[in-house]
Amino acid sequence: MGPDYDNRNLDARGNTKTVIDRSLRISHARFMITPDQILREMHRWVADRRLLQKDIAAELGIAPARVNEMLKGSRRIQPNEMPILAKLFGMEDEEESNVRRIKRIGRVPAGSLRVALEETTDTVEVSAHLPKGVFALEVDGESMNNIAPLGADVIVDPNDKSLFSGDLYVIGASGGGFTFKRYLENPARLVPISSDLSHQEIRLGSEPITIIGRVVSVSIGAELLRRM
């Protein structure tokens, strides 16, 4: 498993462990707070004048301009900033259920673009603090096996479609195919993260694409973990 990923949510009723990209999600043993939740709280605190942008910047040790960029959506909250902001906004551990079930709506190939998203009636247990509207897709392929092996579930936020270099996405092509990959820029391309070096990156720009959503979590069942 790649160095940028680690096992989280170890207490999800003993059934699953969740692999989280540190640049996307943090957890505090029992639950996860998402960057989107922190950003929404930041907007509230600034709008209510409970804190000024310069106050937030001082807590983070950054320039106020960086906070302004966060509020405008042009700068992501950094991993080391998330616990500081969570504490600042009073978003620490709560006595409530830390898991919920979401729909697994089909499968997505971690390989070349091809038709997927097959209908299923399955559900997957995830953190209750993930964004509303997320759904699961079972990984069918090995081109992302360093972080999401065959049979794992990627948790997709269909309301988060802004492309940021380094983040993970489910992408659809005009021909009806779908794939799960890491997006990188200069040039724009979809990149595998695999132990099998035969998997190739996919250059973008030759045909229209549809962003299905950003992958906010990868869930690996306990049985699958034992085989890894």
Banded pLDDT at 226 (limits 50, 70, 90) = low
Q: In a 3-state reduction of DSSP, which class is residue 215?
A: strand
Of the given ranges (54-68, 75-89, 112-126, 199-213), which has the lowest mean pLDDT? 112-126
The yes-or-no verdict on residue 88 having pLDDT over 50 is: yes
pLDDT of amino acid 48: 84
HSE-CB of 89 using CA atoms within 13 angstroms: 24
Q: Which domains does the chain have, with CATH numbers?
A: 5-29+97-227 (2.10.109.10), 32-88 (1.10.260)
The b/e string for 207-219 (b: 16+ C-beta within 10 A; e otherwise) is eebeebbbbbbbb
pLDDT of amino acid 69: 93
pLDDT in tens, 108-165: 887 665 554 455 567 888 888 888 889 998 898 899 999 888 889 999 999 999 899 9
The yes-or-no verdict on residue 67 having pLDDT over 90 is: yes
pLDDT in tens, 171-197: 987 777 788 999 999 999 999 999 989
Helices 35-47, 64-72: crossing angle, 10 deg rounding: 110
Q: What is the DSSP letter of 52?
A: -
Banded pLDDT at 102 (limits 50, 70, 90) = confident
Cβ atoms of 215 and 169 closer than 8 Å:
yes
